[in-house]
Chains A and B, each alone.
Chain A
Amino acid sequence: MMRPSGRPAPSATGRASQAVLLSALLVAALLAGPVSAWAQERPTPRGDALPVREITLENGMRFLVLPQRAVPTVAFVTQYSVGGVNEHPGNTGIAHLLEHLLFKGTSTIGTRAPEAELDWFRRIDLLYDSLLAARVDEVDPARTREMEARLRALEDSARTLVVPNEFDEIFTRNGARGLNAATTNESTLYYVELPANRAQLWFVLEAARMSDPVFREFYAERDVVLEERLTRVETSPGGLLYETHLAAAYQAHPYGQPVIGWRSDLETHRREDVAEYYRRYYGPKNAVVAIVGDVDPERVEEWIHRDFGPLPPGERPPPVLIEEPRQRGERRVEVRFDAEPAVLIGWHTVDVFHEDAPALVMLSALLSGGRTARLYRELVVEKRLATFVGVTLGPGERYPRLFTIQAYPRSPHTTAEVEEAVYAEIARLIEEGPDAAELERVRNQLEAGAVRRLETNFGLALQLAGSASLFGDWRTTFLLEERMAAVTAADIQRVARVYLTSENRTVATLVTTRPEAVEP
């Protein structure tokens, strides 16, 4: 079992363990490689043997440092173990909103007058609270409109003290690439790449942002997130269907909530609540950083201690104890929209630590992993019922997740025909089991995939931080391929039979409202 142990990362603070050093030598030999004939067999490089130096500060913050010398650039990924699952009705979208707000600067970056700014915030926030109260009391809409206009005017006044986007600008003019962030159901990631000679800049800026963020331009940024929601969900048929499907599949667990947040929650977030949420859960104790690139680990370690060592630890979010009750019958939901039909079929399965998880990943690869995969062959090539069919496991990893098949029917075929064909294929797989050749194809691709994952600094940094965050050990995701390679045909049949049942599934269909598209 791979449940996170909760114990601190294995190596002693600031020192690479003996084991890590030995692996370092091994990998250096592998990666440097003799100039040999290409056909000569060489051992495949192993991700879990990479010379990662682990550093854990007293405040609990974990760092994974992997020197990669080929090109003088360095990738940084900061992962906080806080995301959509830590939210509840009323404050959904808070982690994602914070993802935006953390680009607003600090008490000295992004401002001309930090003290005066705080005064404006107080006035703005007071007015905002009155506005919220007015909305609840349903007073004259003209009055709330007037208050909204005043709020905007106050934010405009506060803006005269702002140096806009200065945090971004300092990174950018130093040649940073890919400065961005992402929020998932279980974590929030902040990332950037820098030219190696400017690596030190990250330590100064990230430590400042972590300990001293200022959420200026709060209400305008909330509007930006509402625009993002319009683009990703409300005007996107695929986004709407996805959100509706999750909400139907999960009745209790927060996996059913959108990470971007429900609209009404976004419209009511208050600066103070968001800041308080930040102060609690975005401290060193809840953060893992991966640094991959052309860096000197000694200097990096020095900067880590200097810039992050003094920060207060913060706390971990309360554990998510809520469990999704067992589903006792098929659920069906529809989204009516001016778009062509689509269908999502999701079955409740297990979390990523469960012993059935590798077999479910193998099952997804057999069904939709490539052009020989069963659903593609049957639905797209043979029967031509669909133009696309794919499988995903999600929306997260840490809690029991869905095995979801998504398909677009090919006109004049319907989502019902697609569903029927999908169920028939699953029944056939349960009945006959996968053949040896198709299993071997999937295993060979896993092996090659493990090599391809070592190609970029940024990809490696994402994986190290993700693995350490989820499993407590950066090596674990590198070992998942081995667990999957050990899966047998019988395992795959078994998990398909156990999980992919009719009473355990939720089906969401996009039903078109287009008159022209109605079938004759």
Chain B
Amino acid sequence: MSRGASRALSVALAAACLACVAPGTVRAQEPEAANAPADSHAAALGLTFEPLKFQPPQPAEHTLSNGVHVLQLEDRRLPLVSVYARFRGGFANFPRVYYAAATGLPGLVRGGGTLSLPPDSVEARLEHYAIRTSVGTGGETSFALMNALTRHLDIGLELFGAMLRSPRFDSARVEVWRGQELESVRRRMDDPGRLAFSEFNRLLFGDHPIGWEMEPADLEPEDLAHDRLEWLHRRVFCPDNLMLGVTGDVSWQEIEPLLERLVEGWEPCAEPLVRSPRPEIRTEPGVFVIPRPLEQSTVVMAHVADVRQGDTPDFFASRIGTSILGGGGLSSRLMARLRTERGYAYSTSALWTAPVSYPGLVGAITRTRADRTVAAARLMLETLEEMTEAPPTSDEVERTVDEVVNGFVFNFESPAQIVSRQMAYRAQRMPADWLERYLAGIQEVQPEDVQRVFREHVHPERMVILVVGNPERLDEPLSALGPVTVLHVPEPTAAQAER
């Protein structure tokens, strides 16, 4: 797609038809003089496509009598209904002393029974009616989902409501959860990927919820005392924090009374949530190793980069640049260098997080054979450096933009996707048309913008590099990358873990 066509699209966005994609060939290219069995290259690139005609459905907005907002999108194709509940609040809103209880809270709301029914009865009913529910957390947010056949929607919502509003926190189930969590702590060394990411967060974020890692000391029985769980529950799972979503085989007229019943008489939150503190992210570079007797190393490297998510040229340039450097698929630079050309890695990718309220991280990750570890890390650093030294080619930028523009319709594949995205935008106080602004914003990005944002924010020499692997088996000593610190991740003994 040419730049001109892309621009035309950004204007078209002002109109209602948000996903109408402009027509165009894949790209203009000189015809190849190949004479192979069939010139598939010319055939593929010679195709022209009609514009995609599509009017993405918009969720309807409603407010329940207690002020809870509901986004709803009807979809009659199958006799299924989903109800989503999104609450502000999660473990990151509470001090470390609450870490275990706040981490366990979603699972115990889901599986700890309700005031009127013990856990076994809740589970038996859910399974009898083939109702699916789940409750989870993402740090400062908690989510719950209920999915049922339309004919069981009322019983599904009744159980869902009882779970969210009046959980029992059955003591035996709390003890099961505590034991599972202790076992998970014992097993954290078993998966090098998981170990690398959690230790990297701890290294960079320190004593901040993002850096916390569960320890046996967090998991004493009193840490999961019943009154502590209830105290947290009254501060998270309460209507002031709540937003609802509904998709599927039900109209608003049909579901409204059921949702009113769900929230009727629900006590307001005990007190407003305290936001988690701004993290103080480590800025000092360094090379760290967690010794593990493995033939493949996990390499994570990153440093602080302060580009915030928002409608700014830097943000959009950082997105395009990250995708060129190491987005999904095989075409990124890191994939081309580490995987396709050198065969060093099965997977490698770039990361650049851009939170709204604090700085993010930029860097790269891979896993590679022990005796190629330092070579792979160098190649990653070089590939990052190149992004700062020269702008990407205009073809690289266009290709990345084309992927998003041409595949825009995949943002609207299911009502669930549409409603949960809008719920997330609202919860994060982002504009409802953020996706469309994003689509327009990335189409303005020029190769020079990508280089500028990388030159300003990406500094390979400032990387914190963590290797999980066997220092004895590497191609070169890690000190070739900088002064090395050996991290001794505490391995809990059987006695500790069982405390």
Contact = CB atoms under 8 A, between A and B. Distances in A.
Contact of B34 (A71, A114, A384, A517): A114
B227 to A, nearest CB: 23
B331 A227 contact: no
A197 B52 contact: yes
A230 B407 contact: no
B38 A212 contact: yes
Interface in A188-223: 193, 195-198, 200-201, 204-205, 207-208, 211-212, 217, 219-223
Given A106-B41, A211-B37, A234-B296, A193 B49 contact: no
Contact of B129 (A42, A179, A207, A444): A444
A220 B342 contact: yes
Contact of B493 (A230, A338, A448, A516): A516
B52 to A, nearest CB: 4
Contacts of A323: none
A387 B346 contact: no
Interface string B128-139: 111000000000
A445 B495 contact: no
Contacts of B408: 175
A195 B341 contact: no
A380 B151 contact: no
Contact of A196 (B52, B182, B403): B52
A241 to B, nearest CB: 11
Interface string A165-177: 1101110111111
Given A114-B34, A173-B399, A519-B494, A456 B414 contact: yes
Given A173-B403, A231-B367, A412-B498, A371 B154 contact: no
B434 to A, nearest CB: 20
B438 interface: no
A501 B491 CA distance: 39
A516 B76 contact: no
Contacts of B403: 172-173, 175
Nearest to A207: B40
Contacts of A156: 341
B197 interface: no
B363 to A, nearest CB: 20
Which residue among A33, A42, A381 has the maximum number of chain B CB atoms within 10 Å of its CB? Answer: A381
A227 B346 contact: yes
Nearest to A386: B183
A322 interface: no
Interface string B339-368: 111111111000000000000000000011
B497 interface: yes
Among A39, A220, A445, A448: residue with most chain B CB under 10 A:
A448
B342 A371 contact: no
A24 to B, nearest CB: 15
Contacts of B179: 384, 387, 410
Interface in B114-157: 120, 123-124, 127-130, 147, 149-151, 153-154
A315 interface: no
Contacts of A106: 36, 40-41
A27 to B, nearest CB: 11
A195 B407 contact: yes
Interface residues of B, number: 107
A181 B189 CA distance: 30
B44 A109 contact: yes
A235 B367 CA distance: 11
A445 B127 contact: yes
Contacts of B176: 380-381, 384
B402 interface: yes
Contacts of B111: 371
B484 interface: no
A39 B336 CA distance: 55
Contacts of A201: 26, 44, 47
Interface in B277-334: 292-296, 329-331
Contact of B183 (A45, A205, A408, A451): A408
A71 B52 CA distance: 11
B45 interface: yes
A173 B50 CA distance: 16
A320 to B, nearest CB: 29
B27 interface: yes
A169 B330 CA distance: 8
B186 interface: yes
B433 interface: no
Contacts of B498: 411-412
Given A339-B190, A440-B128, A220 B341 contact: yes
Interface stretch (B77-85, B95-103, B159-167, B203-211): B77-85
Nearest to B147: A452
B474 to A, nearest CB: 15
Interface string B391-412: 0000000110011111111101
Contacts of B409: 71-73, 175, 195-196
Given A224-B345, A227-B343, A340-B187, A204 B402 contact: no
B173 A381 contact: yes
Contacts of A221: 340, 343
A85 to B, nearest CB: 24
Nearest to B183: A387
A372 interface: yes
Question: 9 tightest CB-CB pairs across the interface, nearest first?
Answer: A175-B406, A223-B343, A175-B407, A208-B40, A107-B36, A448-B130, A220-B343, A108-B41, A230-B296
Given A108-B39, A221-B340, 12 more contacts: A38-B153, A41-B151, A107-B34, A196-B52, A197-B52, A230-B295, A231-B347, A235-B296, A441-B127, A454-B78, A517-B186, A518-B494
26 contacts: A35-B76, A38-B151, A38-B250, A41-B151, A71-B54, A73-B410, A106-B36, A106-B40, A108-B39, A109-B41, A114-B34, A174-B26, A197-B50, A204-B43, A220-B340, A221-B343, A223-B344, A231-B346, A235-B295, A338-B293, A340-B190, A377-B120, A381-B173, A452-B147, A454-B78, A518-B494
Interface of B: 1, 21, 26-27, 32, 34, 36-45, 47, 49-54, 75-81, 111, 120, 123-124, 127-130, 147, 149-151, 153-154, 172-173, 175-176, 179-180, 182-184, 186-187, 189-192, 249-251, 254-255, 292-296, 329-331, 335-336, 339-347, 367-369, 398-399, 402-410, 412-414, 491-495, 497-498
Interface of A: 31-33, 35, 37-39, 41-42, 44-45, 70-73, 103, 106-109, 114, 156, 159, 164-166, 168-170, 172-177, 179, 193, 195-198, 200-201, 204-205, 207-208, 211-212, 217, 219-228, 230-231, 234-237, 338-340, 370-372, 377, 380-381, 384, 387, 408, 410-412, 437, 440-441, 444-445, 447-449, 451-452, 454-456, 514, 516-520
